[in-house]
Amino acid sequence: MPTPPKKSPAAKKTAPPRANKVEDKLARLGLRTDIELVLHLPMRYEDETQITTIAAAGFMGGSMVQVEGVVTHCDVQFRPRRQLVVTITDETGPLVMRFLNFYGSQTKQFAEGNRVRVRGELRHGFFGAEMVHPTYKIVVEGAPLPRALTPVYPAGEGVSQTILRKAIAEAMARIDWSDTLPAVHRDALGLEPFEAAVRLLHNPAPEVDEYALSDHSHPAWTRMKFDELLAQQLSLKRAQMSRREKGAAPLATEGALCAGFMRALPFKLTGAQERVLAEIRSDMRAAFPMQRLLQGDVGSGKTIVAALAAAQAIDSGYQAVLMAPTEILAEQHFRKIAQWLAPLGVTIAWLTGGLKKKDKTQAQASIADGSAQLIIGTHAVFQDAVHFARLGLVIVDEQHRFGVGQRLALRNKGMDADSGPNVPHQLMMSATPIPRTLAMTYYADLEVSAIDELPPGRTPIMTRNIDQNRRDEVVERVHAAALEGRQAYWVCPLIEESEALQLQTATETQIALAEALPDLQVGLVHGRMKPAEKQAVMDAFSRGEVHVLVATTVIEVGVDVPNASLMVIEHAERFGLSQLHQLRGRVGRGSAASVCLLLYQSPLGQIARERLGIMRESTDGFEIARRDLQIRGPGEFLGARQSGQAMLRFADLEADQFLVERARDLAQQLLQTDPVTVQAHLARWLGAKEEFLKV
Ligand code: ADP
Ligand code: MG
């Protein structure tokens, strides 16, 4: 934006406050540069190439139509509310237009005899054909129609299509159109040239297939999707390479602690656990930071693998930290791991937000002076007040529950350790399986290890879907299970709009169940309880003193009570499938045959029925995730929305899987052979957005 010369009063007057405003508004849409404007592609197209007669429009069932007629009547009516009512007529009949919000000047536009071209949905009102708030313009007879489809852009408050069209056209006149893809790759992949594709999408020629444009199957769209995916892959791979350039302390010693732990293991590791442990150990020996995701279905035994990795860090003279998303889960880890490692002489610190001031200060001191070798807690372990003496390994359980900001804080924590500008090795764990395409696109900077085998002796969980109005029978089953010495979880409905209501429901459920089952102990655990209260209930449940544990979704992650063999989930239709799978995974941990009862509120819609059907048919987390992805789309997985997702505007991960793979291969090749192309392509497609992808 050129600043006007200082001394000229004329220039002062014409100083561009309006232009600035438009720029600000465009900037709010993320449109700051010419190239961003040029890549702001239409979300759909409108067909203004034809005019329909008013009579024929009446048969077009509410779809968008364009008609043209002459104003025969215009007045402001006050019933049922103030509105401008205009009647136009063509050779086939009249059409009434209603405008509820209007300016006085509009009555002038609609002077009798003026010709109006109108677009809208025609419906049959009390007075015949009518349109409410159509778009319109005053035209002269025979005014030419556009020959091509009219693009409609994603817009925002105060940014009209006209403003966007103008800004985009101006930007198109200014940008450098050179193709960032060398012709040899373009040809090999059968892709359109960049300029032709972009121009076509902004101004489709009359003969362009309207359907291919709107369903994004047109080759011009394919080019855009490919470019976008390529930029994403390049950026992710570059982040990976820059990680490799960073230093990390090699944690190479498998010493006395590792050996002692292996000897004292309470069970034999499964083959899958052995394999992932070897992968993790080898990463930790490197002088650049590990960034590995350990995936394994609920109950597959990730905790022991994490503890073994921590032992290697400690043997190498470094601290390890384990962070869990909830206090309950962190506490479980603490107890279990302390049971394994404390007898071997490891000093473990416990740190959560709920600690008393004095205990917190003490924990922080032991972390800072290095006497704490292993630190377990919630995200409190990464608050500013916490300084590590020699942090070597960060383990994050249920990593998808943490936001990008928290993951970033955690990554940077290693930097302030005495060990110099080293980044700690990172191990992330998740029971939510990521489908392959997602892993490839969002997590190109992650190595992935999968535990694909459950420990022996588990019995499969039988799942049944039951109508909520048969609750009494379900209560009976809970009773019967308790008489056999088994325990049950009873999960209350998810009430997303109100936490208060959710707590109330949980409390009422506990009271109702306690009344219905007077000979049993019915406990309650929810997210708002004090940590100590929560722990007391969990302990009583673990010891078998509580028979039925009523819970909100706080038990979703990680809780491990092998004697529990019955899981009841109310209003299962309100939960995500991965969430149901996680909840269900709380049972089936011992040798007893386990049952999961999904109560639903009838009538169920088609999709809900399909989703609950999947739960009944499959106990395989990967299969469930795959099918859930088909039904729901990818947005919900692993907080994907927060990272790479923001960048994919045109490509669809499921439908365009083929392109994803091509883009990944080409990215690899370009990074090795063609830095100039890499630079040019990233500058065009990502500009300033690249930082997004690095967490
Ligand atoms: P998750 O992967 O869901 O975090 P956990 O680590 O909590 O699973 O393990 C689930 C249960 O299985 C725990 O009680 C754990 O001690 C037990 N376990 C883990 N590995 C084995 C194994 N190899 N053999 C027998 N039991 C195991
Ligand atoms: Mg776990």
**What percent of the chain has a predicted confidence (pLDDT) above 90?**
47
For ligand 1, atom 23, name the residue with the nearest CA: 269
Predicted pLDDT at 4: 43
Ligand 1 near 121 CB (within 6 A): no
Ligand 1 near 582 CB (within 6 A): no
Ligand 1 near 269 CB (within 6 A): yes
Residue 574, pLDDT above cutoff 70: yes
- Ligand closest to 299 (CA) is 1
**What percent of the chain has a predicted confidence (pLDDT) above 70?**
86
Helix H or strand E segment including 330? helix 327-341
For ligand 1, atom 13, name the residue with the nearest CA: 301
∠ Cα 99 103 107 (to 5°): 75
**Three-state SS annotation for 180-234:** CCCHHHHHHHCCCCHHHHHHHHHCCCCCCCHHHHHCCCCHHHHHHHHHHHHHHHH
Q: State both tokens at 533.
A: 């209260």
Label residue 583 by pLDDT band (50, 70, 90).
Answer: confident
Residues in CB range of 328: below 8 A, 6 or more apart: 525, 534, 535, 538, 554, 555, 558, 559
CA of 34 to the centre of ligand 1 (A): 55
Given the CA of residue 269, which atom of ligand 1 is nearest to it? 23
Predicted pLDDT at 445: 65
User: C-alpha 245: how far from its chain's center?
Assistant: 29
Cα–Cα dist 39/54, whole Å: 37
Ligand 1 near 303 CB (within 6 A): yes
pLDDT tens for each residue of 597-639: 999 998 888 888 888 999 999 988 878 877 776 665 544 443 3
Structure-derived torsion over alpha carbons of residues 338, 342, 348, 353, reported in degrees to the nearest 10: 30
∠ Cα 208 209 210 (to 5°): 105
Length of the chain: 695
Ligand 1 near 433 CB (within 6 A): no
What is the average pLDDT value for the chain, to the nearest integer? 85
Predicted pLDDT at 85: 94
Taking CA atoms, 639 is separated from 88, 438, 600, 643, in Å, by 52, 11, 27, 7
Tell me the HSE value of 323 on the side-chain side, using a 13 A CA sphere.
25
Ligand 1 near 304 CB (within 6 A): yes
For ligand 1, atom 15, name the residue with the nearest CA: 301
Residue 318, pLDDT above cutoff 90: yes
pLDDT tens for each residue of 119-162: 998 888 777 889 988 989 999 999 999 888 889 898 877 788 88
Q: What are phi and psi of 462, to 5 degrees?
A: -90, 130
Ligand 1 near 564 CB (within 6 A): no
Residues in CB range of 169: below 8 A, 6 or more apart: 202
Cα–Cα dist 262/256, whole Å: 10
Ligand 1 near 325 CB (within 6 A): no
Predicted pLDDT at 679: 92
Residue 353, pLDDT above cutoff 80: yes
- Ligand closest to 328 (CA) is 2
Cα–Cα dist 428/250, whole Å: 18
Residues in CB range of 518: below 8 A, 6 or more apart: none
pLDDT tens for each residue of 320-340: 999 988 887 888 899 899 999
Predicted pLDDT at 489: 95
With 0-12 / 13-18 / 19 or more C-beta atoms within 10 angstroms meaning exposed / middle / buried, residue 484 is exposed
Ligand 1 near 455 CB (within 6 A): yes
* Residues whose Cβ atom is located within 5 A of ion ligand 2: 558
Helix H or strand E segment including 37? helix 34-38
Residue 496, pLDDT above cutoff 70: no
pLDDT tens for each residue of 215-264: 889 999 999 999 999 998 888 788 778 777 888 889 999 999 999 999 99
Q: What is the pTM of this model?
A: 0.65
Q: Is 476 left (phi over 0), alpha (psi -120 to 50) or beta?
A: alpha
Cα–Cα dist 201/78, whole Å: 44
CA of 238 to the centre of ligand 1 (A): 36
Predicted pLDDT at 46: 85
CB distance 550 to 522 below 8 Å: yes
With 0-12 / 13-18 / 19 or more C-beta atoms within 10 angstroms meaning exposed / middle / buried, residue 267 is exposed
Cα–Cα dist 611/38, whole Å: 41
Label residue 570 by pLDDT band (50, 70, 90).
Answer: very high
No. of helices (H) and no. of strands (E), the chain: 25, 22
Predicted pLDDT at 419: 44
Predicted pLDDT at 604: 86
The amino acid present at 681, given as its one-letter code, is H
Q: What are phi and psi of 79, to 5 degrees?
A: -125, 140
Least confident of 51-60, 368-377, 674-683: 51-60
Least confident of 85-99, 237-251, 325-339, 680-694: 680-694
Cα–Cα dist 150/47, whole Å: 6
Q: State both tokens at 445.
A: 């900077």
CA of 616 to the centre of ligand 1 (A): 24
Residue 9, pLDDT above cutoff 50: no
CA of 383 to the centre of ligand 1 (A): 30
Ligand 1 near 302 CB (within 6 A): yes
Cα–Cα dist 133/271, whole Å: 67
Q: Which residue has the higher pLDDT, 439 or 114?
A: 114
Which residue has 């209003």 as its token pair?
571
For ligand 1, atom 4, name the residue with the nearest CA: 302
Ligand 1 near 201 CB (within 6 A): no
DSSP secondary structure letters along 66-105: EEEEEEEEEEEE-SSS-EEEEEEEETTEEEEEEESS--HH
For ligand 1, atom 16, name the residue with the nearest CA: 301
Mean pLDDT of 9-35: 69
Given the CA of residue 296, which atom of ligand 1 is nearest to it? 2
Per DSSP bridges, beta strands 44-46 and 150-152 are: antiparallel
With 0-12 / 13-18 / 19 or more C-beta atoms within 10 angstroms meaning exposed / middle / buried, residue 271 is exposed
CB distance 343 to 377 below 8 Å: no
Which residue has 């990944």 as its token pair?
664
Q: Nearest CA to 289 among 179, 397, 426, 402?
A: 426
If one counts every other C-beta atom within 10 angstroms of the C-beta of residue 121, the result is 16
Ligand 1 near 589 CB (within 6 A): yes
Mean pLDDT of 518-523: 95
Residue 694, pLDDT above cutoff 90: no
CA of 149 to the centre of ligand 1 (A): 60
Least confident of 187-191, 291-295, 343-347, 590-594: 590-594
Mean pLDDT of 92-99: 93
Mean pLDDT of 385-401: 85
Q: State both tokens at 223.
A: 């080019």
- Ligand closest to 301 (CA) is 1
* Domains of the chain as residue ranges with CATH: 50-145 (2.40.50.140), 177-245+660-687 (no CATH), 256-451 (3.40.50.300), 461-618 (3.40.50.300)
Predicted pLDDT at 643: 39
- Ligand closest to 265 (CA) is 1
CB distance 110 to 99 below 8 Å: no
Predicted pLDDT at 608: 85
- Ligand closest to 451 (CA) is 1
Cα–Cα dist 607/498, whole Å: 24
Cα–Cα dist 13/278, whole Å: 72
Predicted pLDDT at 147: 84
The amino acid present at 407, given as its one-letter code, is R
Q: Nearest CA to 434 among 297, 299, 305, 309?
A: 297
pLDDT tens for each residue of 542-555: 899 999 999 987 66
Q: Nearest CA to 648 among 638, 634, 637?
A: 634
Ligand 1 near 277 CB (within 6 A): no
Helix (H, G, I), strand (E, B) or coil at 551: strand
Mean pLDDT of 60-66: 80
